[in-house]
Amino acid sequence: MSHFIEWSPIYSVSNTALDVQHKQIIKLMNDLHSIIYTYPNKETLKKAIIRIRIILETHLRYEETLMKYASYPECEKHRQIHRALLIKTSVMFDSHKNKAVSIKEILTFLKKWWLRHIILDDMKYIEYVSKLDL
């Protein structure tokens, strides 16, 4: 079975820690995708969803911290984009509990949002974050 999302060098933000985190989130989405098609029991799905939520929130906080220390001028705008994602995914995951939204719909949304966000939004902070001595 091929991956739901394939990592590509075009997603690199030229920061090892952020790239590792981005790859980890993609891996978790791929894992959840695999679970849907191989072991779709309720408990396994729940654990995978919780894992994605925790790692996603942790990554976004880390990224925001780097942007702040790098004096990225659009840091607040970027933070608001992150908040909107967290609210949207929280609503979708809650809707899944009520069977209003499927995990496949959530994954499709996350895939589109995530890849678009890296390419369009995250690439903007590269020159600022790359100046940090990490």
Residue 132 reports pLDDT greater than 90: no
Asked if the structure places residue 4 within a domain, the reply is no
CA–CA dist 20, 23 (Å, integer): 5
Residue at 34: amino acid letter: S
134, part of any domain: no
pTM exceeding 0.85: yes
Q: Has residue 3 been placed in a domain?
A: no
Q: How many domains does the chain have?
A: 1
73 within some domain? yes
CATH of the domain at 20: 1.20.120.50
Summarised one tens digit per residue, pLDDT across range 7-35 is: 999 999 989 999 999 999 999 999 989 98
Which residue range(s) make up the domain with 59?
A: 15-129
Q: Cα(first)–Cα(last) distance of the chain, in Å?
A: 37
Length of the chain: 134
**Per residue in 82-126, pLDDT tens?**
999 999 998 988 888 777 788 888 889 999 999 999 999 999 999
